[in-house]
Structure 1
Amino acid sequence: MIKTISATLDEKGNSGIINVLVDEVYYLGVESRSSMILLETPSRTYYTPGTLNYWTHVLNRSGYHFHIADRSNSINISKIVEVDERYKIAFFDKHDRSKKCTMSSTGKREVMELLSQTNTPYVLL
């Protein structure tokens, strides 16, 4: 199982490579201007090259539970603590609502099913 992803603090890589713990990643996002994947963590955003499909597949084959929730986000199922069913938003911290991820209608339905299958504790809003 991989434990880290090599990433940078900026899109151009000026910071050099930083290893980001996969266990800290809330979700993967797409940076359309630069074709980079965003790694959203509690403390900051990191950048790595690749596609959403590629990273979701690699992480799932490495023992994690990521799911593409809409065309630009792949959610780490084990990090969800609350789901707003009406607005289709997943939250990752009960006390800080700034880290959130949108879902499509189909994505929300699939995420809810995965949450029940993996026995991930969460609150439905």
Structure 2
Amino acid sequence: MYELKELSVTKERDGKSGGTNIPIKGITHLEADSYMVIVHTAKEHYYLAGTMVYWVNTLNASGYKFRNADRSNIINVENIRSVDMNFKLAYFENDVNKQSKKCTFVKDRLDAIIEEFPQIADKCSSGAIFKTFLKFSR
């Protein structure tokens, strides 16, 4: 296993302004965009060449916890701060507002993430209810 701490990304899709390195721990989620991957941090977004499958495999093999959230989003589980269970949205800050970054989920993948990482249930808008639901739905 390689010790991967940063990703080399570009600020623009075409890369004309050059590249920069960003810390992987600061990535909130990855989003599929035709032939590119959009890398989201709490305040910015960047572009990365390659496929979603390649990057989720590489990041997870390097010790990170990125999981499929829906067809076009891969979420960094360690950066989830709250989850809106009604709209299936993860947020990456505690004080959510209109400008907050968010990532969408599909129900079965959200359920799988909560089962794998039970501490996420505490961050859900209805965490206590959802924990009870999981206990009885097994």
The alignment's TM-score, normalised by the length of structure 1, stands at: 0.90
Q: Provide runs of 4+ in structure 1 moved above 6 Å.
A: none
CA change 1:96–1:3 in 2 (3 A) is same
Deviation at 1:12, TM superposition (A): 0.2
State the partner residue of 2:133: none
Segment drifting more, 95-104 vs 20-29: 95-104
Over the matched positions of the two proteins, sequence identity in percent amounts to 35
State the partner residue of 1:115: 117
C-alpha distance in 2 between matches for 1:37 and 1:87: 24
Match of 1:5 among 7, 12, 27: 7
Name which structure has the greater RCO, CA cutoff 8 Å, separation 6+.
Answer: 1
CA radius of gyration, larger in: 2
State the partner residue of 2:66: 66
The one-letter amino acid paired with 2:90 is: A
The one-letter amino acid paired with 1:77 is: V
State the partner residue of 1:50: 50
C-alpha distance in 1 between matches for 2:36 and 2:64: 21
Deviation at 1:122, TM superposition (A): 4.6
C-alpha distance in 1 between matches for 2:114 and 2:10: 32
State the partner residue of 1:87: 87
The alignment's TM-score, normalised by the length of structure 2, stands at: 0.82
C-alpha RMSD of the superposition: 1.5
The one-letter amino acid paired with 2:15 is: G
- Structure number having the greater helix percentage: 2
CA contact (8 A) 1:81 1:92 kept: yes
Stretches of structure 2 that go unaligned for 5 or more consecutive residues are: 126-138
CA contact (8 A) 2:114 2:120 kept: no
Residue-by-residue CA offset, 1:82-122 (whole Å, 9 max, x unaligned): 11112111111112442100011111111212321xx4685
C-alpha distance in 1 between matches for 2:114 and 2:76: 12
Aligned length: 121
